[in-house]
Amino acid sequence: MEQNRVLIVTGDGKGKTTSAFGMALRALGHGQRAAVVQFIKHDGGYGEVEALRLLPGAEVICSGLGFTPRHEDSAQWERHADAARGGWRCALERMRDEAIRTLVLDEVFYPIKYGHIALEDALDAVREFQQSGGGRVLVMTGRGAPEELVALADTVSRVECVKHALQSGVEAQENVEF
- What digits encode the pLDDT tens for the residues 140-175? 999 999 999 999 999 999 999 888 888 888 888 877
The pTM (predicted TM-score) of the whole model is: 0.92
**3-state SS record for the chain:** CCCCEEEEEECCCCCHHHHHHHHHHHHHHCCCEEEEEECCCCCCCCHHHHHHHCCCCEEEEECCCCCCCCCCCCCCHHHHHHHHHHHHHHHHHHHHCCCEEEEEEECCHHHHHCCCCCHHHHHHHHHHHHHHCCCCEEEEECCCCCHHHHHHCCEEEECCCCCCHHHHCCCCCCCCCC
73 band by pLDDT with thresholds 50, 70 and 90: low
Instruction: Let me know if residue 37 belongs to a domain.
Output: yes
Instruction: Let me know if residue 62 belongs to a domain.
Output: yes
Summarize the confidence of residues 37-50 as an average pLDDT.
Answer: 83
CATH of the domain at 127: 3.40.50.300
Residue 68 contacts residue 60 (beta carbons within 8 Å) = no
Residue 37 contacts residue 100 (beta carbons within 8 Å) = no
Instruction: Let me know if residue 151 belongs to a domain.
Output: no
53 band by pLDDT with thresholds 50, 70 and 90: very high
pLDDT on residue 70: 67
Summarize the confidence of residues 113-138 as an average pLDDT.
Answer: 96
At residue 138, what is the residue type?
L
- Judged against a pLDDT cut of 70, whether residue 21 lies above it is answered with yes
pLDDT on residue 130: 97
Residue 57, domain extent: 27-95+109-135
Instruction: Let me know if residue 86 belongs to a domain.
Output: yes
pLDDT on residue 93: 98
- Judged against a pLDDT cut of 80, whether residue 123 lies above it is answered with yes
Residue 107 contacts residue 141 (beta carbons within 8 Å) = yes
- Judged against a pLDDT cut of 80, whether residue 59 lies above it is answered with yes
Domain count, the chain: 1
Summarize the confidence of residues 57-86 as an average pLDDT.
Answer: 83
66 band by pLDDT with thresholds 50, 70 and 90: confident
Instruction: Let me know if residue 145 belongs to a domain.
Output: no
- Judged against a pLDDT cut of 70, whether residue 31 lies above it is answered with yes
- Judged against a pLDDT cut of 70, whether residue 87 lies above it is answered with yes
Instruction: Let me know if residue 127 belongs to a domain.
Output: yes
Across the chain, what does the average pLDDT equal?
A: 92
- Judged against a pLDDT cut of 80, whether residue 43 lies above it is answered with no
Contacts of residue 165, Cβ cutoff 8 Å, sequence gap at least 6: 173, 176
Count CB-CB contacts under 10 A for residue 80. 22
Instruction: Let me know if residue 13 belongs to a domain.
Output: no
Instruction: Let me know if residue 4 belongs to a domain.
Output: no
